[in-house]
Amino acid sequence: MPNNDILLEVSHVSKQFPVKKRKLHAVSDVSLTLSRGELLGIVGESGLLICGECGCNYRRITRSSGEIVWRCANRVEHGKLYCQESPTISEQKVKDELCDALKLADYDEAMIKDHIEHVVVGRDGSLEIEIRQQTIAQILSW
């Protein structure tokens, strides 16, 4: 494929945030190339939900019952080796709490992406929602 068809190319991108005295690895050594006509989907993992125990991303899982839940990716891949107490969270709970935090009547993925920095999942299943700084002032006036 000719190079002028490459729209996006990233190499070895890592991004970390300090979360509760730990380093959160939002992205760890990601490389990808996006060419014209391709659709990019980073499937099943979101930088939005973060495990409060190990700092890993949460992963979206569809259970055989059809229920959609989120679990720590570290725990999914390695069992309790690196992450022992992270809870499984239902997608509905995530959506409900995000809507509450942004005072949305209905779940709106674009709004969530625009306004939520990240959500740290506590061991007790609590969600610590961090709203982007520039949004807080807006919410107060909604």
Residues of the shown chain interacting with Zn ion in the complex, contacts defined by CB under 5 A:
51, 53-54, 56, 72, 74, 83, 86
- Give me the least distance between CB of 122 and Zn ion, in Å please: 11
> How far apart are CB 39 and Zn ion at their closest, in Å?
29
Cβ neighbours for 27, distance < 8 A, ≥ 6 positions apart: 13, 14, 15, 47
- Smallest Cα–Cα separation from 132: which of 118, 112, 117? 117
Closest CA to 34 of 57, 11, 14, 54: 11
The H or E element spanning position 100 is helix 91-102
Give CA–CA dist 34/142, Å, rounded: 37
Q: What are phi and psi of 87, to 5 degrees?
A: -85, 160
User: Between 86 and 112, whose beta carbon lies closer to Zn ion?
Assistant: 86
Give me the least distance between CB of 99 and Zn ion, in Å please.
25
Query: Closest approach of Cβ 119 to Zn ion, in Å?
Result: 13
C-beta closer to Zn ion: residue 15 or 132:
15
Nearer to Zn ion, 108 or 128 (CB): 128
52 vs 116 by CB, closer to Zn ion: 52
